[in-house]
Structure 1
Amino acid sequence: MSDLQSTLESRLQQAVSAALGPDHADADPVIRPSNNPKFGDYQANLAMALGKKLGQKPRDVAEKIVDALDSDGLFIRVEIAGPGFINLTLDPALLSTQAAAMSADANLGIAQADPQQTVVIDYSAPNVAKEMHVGHLRSTVIGDALARTFDAVGLKTIRQNHLGDWGTQFGMLITNLLDTGFDPHAPGSDNASPGELTKIYKAAKLRFDNEPEFVERARQRVVLLQAGDEETLAVWKALVEDSKQYFDTVYQRLNVLIQPEDAKGESFYNDRLPGVIERLEQEGRLQKSQGADVVYAGDFKDRDGEPLPMIVRKADGGYLYATTDLAAAMYRAHDLGASRVVYVIGLPQKQHVEMFTTMLYEYGWIEKSVRMDFVGFGSVLGKDKKMFKTRSGETIRLVDLIDEAEAKAEAAIAEKNPDLPEDERKAVAQAVGVGALKYADLSSDRVKDYVFDWDRMLALEGNTAPYLLYSYARIRSIFRKGEIDFDGLASDQLAVSEPAERGLVLQLLQFAGVVENVADTLEPHRLCNYLYELATRYHRFFEQCPVLKAEDEATKQSRLALCHLTARTLDRGLGLLGIQVVERM
């Protein structure tokens, strides 16, 4: 919690204790920033709940609290509105002090977790030997933004890329490669291009769908793979290495921090799967259903209202995703020491995650103190409100989407700023294009589908990445125009006198609280909304409060300090979303 928010809550709780007795001292003050300046800077709505609890009119309760409230050094005006809302207007001197403290803090007021806890976040998870497509965009960028936010609040963040690197499909892939004379030990065997990976998969799938003899050999190859056959494993390792190198190039282009060493694919848990089944057997939880081994937990029902089983071993002895997910969850909780595990997966997987999470808690396999979070998300749709695909109906490759984003951004920049040097134009286009792509995703409430629209996401107006990046660039242009060293500015002298200054400072001071809230709620769009409002208030300030032509030097320095703090906050906030700022557009 930010210092200002905690100070306000503490002062209100002291007033509640004095007015209503210590039994009510822990009442939630329900303090929120005001949506309208005429209702003060903050509004406290605690009188509603307290009135109901005490059997008194909320307004009468509010009057008692206000009478007991110590406003010294904090509020210049406290008013009761409506049925019992308490409107609080802060002392300008307090705002100046708080803004200066935020400016002096390299972390911009974001509190650090104490004691430090470990959070494991599972995201992206592409499949080996397949190209990443638009369907991987949401998990990758949402997961990256949340991981960066966990880092920012001082958590020990362990990224896990649960690659699809095991299963029956590798039987057909390896068999087809060996049929073509592939040598896994030859130089360059682990350097296949993304296009080659796609061809390998399509060729193998075509044969699998049309050649019964090939199908049988592919199944035998799966057995060899699981048994650790040297030749089979060598081909499999080459495929995995090719894919990891390709994934890394995509992550770098997207400015996503996940690293090759963060990959913990399905194969990593192979040795743990027999132990999962053995433990279920020992605890008497395993049941048979049509020859398969299943377990039950919670109150999950199928469409007929019957208890819904989770299959953990097929009739042929093969393991399933559920078995791997159970093993992975225990590895993360016990081996990695996670106090929180976050799964960034599409909404269709919600029941699956809830089922194995319920099993883990009910069976006592992980402590209930370990927080298991499902971060579900909707789909990316085309303008026709159907799944976003190419005109020919094929899934859109992620690299093609990145290419198009950068090309469209470069064309727009060349039109608006034709004098920008080519190398700088390309660098700016990369930041703006990829930033627009990611921000369009992150600014939407993740549980909802969103329509992919280039015109909207690349617009210089509205809640878009280009608008926020332009806001940052506009601030940097002030410093260039005034020949002022941005990094060397002494920004501890901030005066708050004009309404536009006040509005900007009030928004700045909410930054830490918003970041901490995102780390808790796992909703990145809240940070996007905050940054958009910050940029909007900055432009209002810029239009109403001259900076370089301020009436005196003290005012000029104060407003430069406000510009400086706003730029740093935009930079940090966009950075948490994985978006790079640019100094010129």
Structure 2
Amino acid sequence: STIIGDAVVRTLEFLGHTVIRQNHVGDWGTQFGMLLAYLEEQKAEEGERELSRELANLETFYRAAKQRFDESDTFADRARALVVKLQSGDDYCLNLWAEFNQVSLSHCQAIYDRLGVSLTPSDVRGESAYNDDLAQVVADLDSKGLLSESQGAQCVFMDAFKNKEGEPLPVIVRKADGGYLYATSDLAALRYRAGTLQADRMLYFVDQRQALHFQQMFTLAKLAGFVPEQTELAHMGFGTMNGPDGRPFKTRDGGTVKLVDLLDEAEQRAFALVQEKNPQLDEDELRTIARSVGIGAVKYADLSKNRSSDYIFNFEQMLSFEGNTAPYLLYAYTRVASVFRKAERDMASVSGDFLLNEDAEQALAARLVQFAEVLQNVADKGQPHLLSTYLYDVAGLFSSFYEHCPILSSEDEGIRNSRLKLAALTARTLKHGMELLGLSPLERM
């Protein structure tokens, strides 16, 4: 969601839109009682220094907390009590919760920075931000005559959403025990974004499997008057990244694959690959190239596919210098840059008219002038793969142009300048397009 959303946001901003990023993290709810209880226990037993080291691996910390919750009734009771205290604004619980959040979000930010995405700490507005408005959301739904009670829970039934038996599906906004759900905070968030942020278009980059949920939320938000009728609400769903067996990607022992481990391996593989191709480069430059190629390859695997489709994760394919991959695009840009190094010319200094006599020149030029149209399509549809496909086409057409139309060796100065100008436009288009996708172009590989 972060990678795809970042590419669409960059494109929207380039086209002149004001975009407000909202990183809706799951920083509230029942699981925090369990985590707070475990955090409390560990502080008492191990002290601050050991605790900070343990919190460094949040996955392990969460599993340990869950195990305590499952095994100890006393611990589980304490966890449930802490949820109630947290939701009621208890200072002690809020301080523990804030500490856990700070550590958690610092890990997230480190990954965002490594990925080169544009999310910052100030873009975080998690579920907790809407806690004070949840009771009002339910009250407002009630005042509009939309609430019904079902088995003690407060629900909304809409005719547009029915199960297989033709019965209306409930949107539960408050459980029988008084607790609130995702639907409640999502409605509060929609109202905040429409009323406070004055958004006239909202794009939700969330798993495709949440499609029904968002259809219900968007319909209900407008029905309740939380969002103006003319506001565009769009769920930009995406598919799953699968392993070779076609199922969601797992480690050999069946656990979840961590993004940080994928990035480490991608950089290591890219380093070996680049070192093999250019052993004369010093290590610092090799590391810089490997970072751009490795991180770019992982990101481009998401960006080059139709976002709603599932895909098979394959390092060999992602890091290949052939086909629609990040290394291929990055290399295509370096080829153009090398032309200007050989010519000892600056790309911006080329002048003269375009003289497009050859088929390869005309084909490349015709595709280059479609850049603005492609970007508008990405902005309208939230589909970064449209830009990926376009850049791949441009790179392929430049390769054909380079092969069939001598640039530096052309004896006619007008044609030589025209071809240099076409090459410079290609380079600018590739570079700008890759930057909009969040890739880091290189001058040489």
The two structures have a TM-score, normalised by structure 2, of 0.97
Question: Structure 2 vs 1, CA of residues 184 and 221 (structure 1 numbering), >3 Å: closer, same or farther?
Answer: farther
Aligned to 2:32: 170
Which stretch of structure 1 is more off in the superposition, 382-391 or 315-324?
382-391
CA distance, structure 2, for counterparts of residue 270 and residue 491 of structure 1: 60
CA distance, structure 2, for counterparts of residue 184 and residue 498 of structure 1: 74
Question: Structure 2 vs 1, CA of residues 560 and 521 (structure 1 numbering), >3 Å: closer, same or farther?
Answer: same
* 1:210-249 aligned within 5 A: 210-249=71-110
Question: Structure 2 vs 1, CA of residues 184 and 195 (structure 1 numbering), >3 Å: closer, same or farther?
Answer: closer
The alignment status of 1:333 with 2:194, answered yes or no, reads yes
Question: Structure 2 vs 1, CA of residues 298 and 557 (structure 1 numbering), >3 Å: closer, same or farther?
Answer: farther
Larger Rg: 1
Structure 1 counterpart of 2:372, one-letter code: A
In structure 2, the gaps of 5 or more residues are: none
The alignment status of 1:261 with 2:108, answered yes or no, reads no
* 1:276-291 aligned within 5 A: 276-291=137-152
Equivalent residue in structure 2 for 1:531, among 385, 391, 399: 391
The alignment status of 1:343 with 2:343, answered yes or no, reads no
| Alpha-carbon shift at residue 512 of structure 1 (Å) | 0.5
| Alpha-carbon shift at residue 313 of structure 1 (Å) | 0.2
| Alpha-carbon shift at residue 229 of structure 1 (Å) | 1.6
CA deviation digits over 1:378-423, x for unaligned, max 9?
Answer: 1111111111111111110000000011111111000011111211
CA contact (8 A) 2:320 2:327 kept: yes
CA contact (8 A) 1:185 1:234 kept: no
- Structure having the larger proportion of residues in helix: 2
| Alpha-carbon shift at residue 325 of structure 1 (Å) | 0.3
CA contact (8 A) 1:298 1:355 kept: no
The alignment status of 1:513 with 2:373, answered yes or no, reads yes
Please give the secondary structure, in 1, of the residue aligned with 2:21.
Answer: strand
Which stretch of structure 1 is more off in the superposition, 319-328 or 239-248?
239-248
CA contact (8 A) 2:263 2:295 kept: yes
| % same residue | 48
Equivalent residue in structure 2 for 1:576, among 420, 432, 436: 436
CA deviation digits over 1:18-71, x for unaligned, max 9?
Answer: xxxxxxxxxxxxxxxxxxxxxxxxxxxxxxxxxxxxxxxxxxxxxxxxxxxxxx
Please give the secondary structure, in 2, of the residue aligned with 1:495.
Answer: coil
CA deviation digits over 1:149-190, x for unaligned, max 9?
Answer: 11111110111110110011111111111122259996998x
Structure 2 counterpart of 1:548, one-letter code: L
Aligned to 1:554: 414
CA distance, structure 2, for counterparts of residue 409 and residue 246 of structure 1: 24
Question: Structure 2 vs 1, CA of residues 182 and 145 (structure 1 numbering), >3 Å: closer, same or farther?
Answer: farther
CA distance, structure 2, for counterparts of residue 560 and residue 361 of structure 1: 54
| Alpha-carbon shift at residue 491 of structure 1 (Å) | 4.4
Please give the secondary structure, in 1, of the residue aligned with 2:169.
Answer: coil
Please give the secondary structure, in 2, of the residue aligned with 1:159.
Answer: coil
CA distance, structure 1, for counterparts of residue 243 and residue 15 of structure 2: 36
CA distance, structure 1, for counterparts of residue 352 and residue 91 of structure 2: 65
In structure 1, the gaps of 5 or more residues are: 1-138
Structure 2 counterpart of 1:172, one-letter code: M
CA contact (8 A) 1:162 1:263 kept: yes
Question: Structure 2 vs 1, CA of residues 462 and 253 (structure 1 numbering), >3 Å: closer, same or farther?
Answer: same
CA distance, structure 2, for counterparts of residue 580 and residue 249 of structure 1: 18
Structure 2 counterpart of 1:175, one-letter code: A
CA deviation digits over 1:310-341, x for unaligned, max 9?
Answer: 00000111100000000001111110010000
CA distance, structure 2, for counterparts of residue 193 and residue 575 of structure 1: 37
Structure 2 counterpart of 1:496, one-letter code: L
Aligned to 1:180: 42
Structure 2 counterpart of 1:334, one-letter code: G
CA contact (8 A) 2:352 2:417 kept: no
CA distance, structure 2, for counterparts of residue 239 and residue 150 of structure 1: 34
CA distance, structure 1, for counterparts of residue 191 and residue 156 of structure 2: 17
Equivalent residue in structure 2 for 1:198, among 41, 44, 59: 59
The alignment status of 1:494 with 2:354, answered yes or no, reads yes
* 1:302-313 aligned within 5 A: 302-313=163-174
Equivalent residue in structure 2 for 1:161, among 23, 31, 35: 23
| Alpha-carbon shift at residue 493 of structure 1 (Å) | 3.1
CA deviation digits over 1:230-256, x for unaligned, max 9?
Answer: 221111001111111111110111111
Aligned to 1:149: 11
The alignment status of 1:543 with 2:410, answered yes or no, reads no
Please give the secondary structure, in 1, of the residue aligned with 2:83.
Answer: helix
CA contact (8 A) 1:297 1:362 kept: no
The alignment status of 1:415 with 2:276, answered yes or no, reads yes
CA distance, structure 2, for counterparts of residue 184 and residue 364 of structure 1: 51
